[in-house]
Chains A and B, each alone.
Chain A
Amino acid sequence: MSTAATAALTGGFANPPVDAAHAFRATMDVMARPGEIRQLTQARPPAPLSVAAGTLILTLCDPETGLHLAGAHDTKDVRDWVAFHTGAPIVPAEAATFALGTWKALSPISRFPVGTAEYPDRSATLIVERAELGAAGATLQGPGIRETATLDLPEVAAFAANHRLYPLGLDFFFTAGSRVAALPRSTAVMEG
């Protein structure tokens, strides 16, 4: 077996039911509280995936969910790892349930499904890989936030435009190393 093929078999959850349960709680926490940053440490994905992005994929993806790999994240190593651990089909942006890449590679985000008036849940969730993830930045307001929160976003305009589609729209995770934060479509975003 080649080294690459062997690599695909490693880096999954050591104890899938328990690791997934812990990872989901952190995932749910950040989606319920936009701007909050938590740790996701359970996966060891191949480069260039962050530990947090790899953990999200193992927690949420399976054969039912099309995954779009954008830009430098679309490598054979990543495809093999995703296929072995989740069975998620790799799909174009227009068919994505999840999408993974840097902000630049994922843009323009208008390519992704935003749901329908009767089924706004049929929309994509984007996992945006960042070099760093900090609390300082744009001002956030909406469900899950008592007054206001702040989060370092790659830009403001695209997220403000996404919020205007509410209740349609995309939902976002931001990942850097083992750190994760989220921005659902319900959050109003303003320049910090």
Chain B
Amino acid sequence: MSVMDEYNFAYIDEQTKRMIRRAILKGLAVPGYQVPFASREMPMPYGWGTGGVQVSAAALTPDDRLKVIDQGADDTTNAVSIRKFFERTAGVATTEETSEATIIQTRHRIPEVELTEDQILVYQVPIPEPLRFLEPRETETRKMHSLEEYGLMHVKLYEDISRHGNIATAFAYPVMVNDRYVMDPSPIPKFDNPKMEMAAVQLFGAGREQRIYAVPPWTKVVSLDFEDYPFDPSKADHPCDLCGAEDSYLDEVILDDAGNRMFVCSDTDYCRSRREAGHEGRLAAETMA
């Protein structure tokens, strides 16, 4: 089957892609502001990244090389099915190597390797509204953003500190974008927040909530904090047990009923490429066997 003969390149019809493209441009012009868009039914359930898929579909060209990650891994059911979807509907090449990809669609991680200006990072977003847990009404949160009324958000973070001695929010840690909009970076670990001031274009798509937002390259992105409690990206205090990396975000893996555990890079491509380059962690020999 020739993909190029199909009218709907990347599954979505041209008029819908135009609407999404216009929303992406307005999102880039007002970084961190959530642009409403008319989300379409996609051939996958909500929660499978339909917002990210629609944004990727609007941004892809047939010349792209797409990488899809789910919590850092290329081989989960979700990542594999999205990759296959675009191979079939857009005829794009795919890759698992971060540095080879021109578009990376992600759920819940930013790759460890620094992205370049020739790359686009598309986030799948479940809940785009950072103020939602403070105020369920959309009309109210929209008003709060318009008035820069972010005091409640700071109060919530400060309550964390008085209760736990630190800010307990570990994922979807809110950021201030370009000194104007408080934005939900999607449920990435706060470890990833400092990477958001990057060379690549970052696009965010929330399908169920019908929002698109964006962060252009080198936009100021500041994790909310307090003078006496500065933001702490909180790196786990171990190297990766497979590749020895000391600078990566780690997943904890339970090994047996005796409670033995190992820590491994959540970014599987990063871990593999380090091992291929000869780096070894504490348990490298055992897991090779």
Contacts and interface: CB of A to CB of B under 8 A. Distances in A.
B30 interface: yes
A59 interface: yes
Interface residues of B, number: 47
Contact of B19 (A28, A64, A166): A64
A69 interface: no
Interface string B140-168: 00110111000000000000000000000
A62 B22 CA distance: 11
Contact of B29 (A31, A61, A146): A31
B283 interface: no
A107 to B, nearest CB: 20
A21 interface: yes
Given A32-B216, A118-B146, A144-B218, A167 B33 contact: yes
B62 A18 contact: yes
Nearest to B8: A17
Given A64-B19, A118-B143, A184-B29, A28 B201 contact: yes
A39 interface: no
Contacts, number: 117
Choose among A17, A25, A33 the residue with the greatest number of B CB atoms under 10 Å from its CB.
A17
A121 B33 contact: yes
Interface in A1-50: 15-18, 20-22, 24-25, 27-29, 31-33
B58 interface: yes
Nearest to A116: B146
A27 B61 CA distance: 13
Interface of B: 4, 7-10, 14-15, 17-19, 21-31, 33, 35-36, 58-63, 117, 142-143, 145-147, 178, 180-181, 201, 214-220
A186 B178 contact: yes
A62 B15 CA distance: 7
Nearest to B37: A121
Given A20-B17, A25-B59, A120 B28 contact: no
A24 B16 CA distance: 13
A171 B25 contact: yes
Given A22-B61, A31-B28, A17 B7 contact: yes
Contacts of A146: 217-218
A143 B29 CA distance: 9
B30 A185 contact: yes
B114 to A, nearest CB: 14
Interface of A: 15-18, 20-22, 24-25, 27-29, 31-33, 59-62, 64-65, 117-121, 123, 125, 142-146, 166-167, 171, 184-186
Given A143-B215, A143-B219, A144-B28, 10 more contacts: A28-B28, A32-B216, A59-B18, A117-B146, A119-B36, A121-B26, A143-B216, A145-B218, A167-B33, A171-B26
B59 A28 contact: yes
Nearest to A120: B30
B217 A32 contact: yes
18 contacts: A18-B4, A20-B17, A20-B18, A21-B60, A25-B61, A28-B201, A31-B25, A31-B28, A33-B117, A60-B18, A64-B15, A118-B142, A118-B145, A121-B26, A143-B215, A143-B219, A167-B30, A171-B25
B118 to A, nearest CB: 10
B59 to A, nearest CB: 7
Contacts of A33: 117, 216-217
A186 B29 contact: yes
Contact of B178 (A21, A117, A143): A143
A173 B277 CA distance: 46
Nearest to A144: B216
A144 B33 contact: no
Contacts of A144: 28, 216-219
Nearest 3 pairs of A and B residues by beta carbon: A17-B9, A144-B216, A184-B29
Contact of B201 (A32, A62, A118, A185): A32
A122 to B, nearest CB: 9
Contact of A121 (B35, B58, B215): B35
A18 B4 CA distance: 8
A60 B22 contact: yes
Contacts of A185: 29-30
B9 A62 contact: no
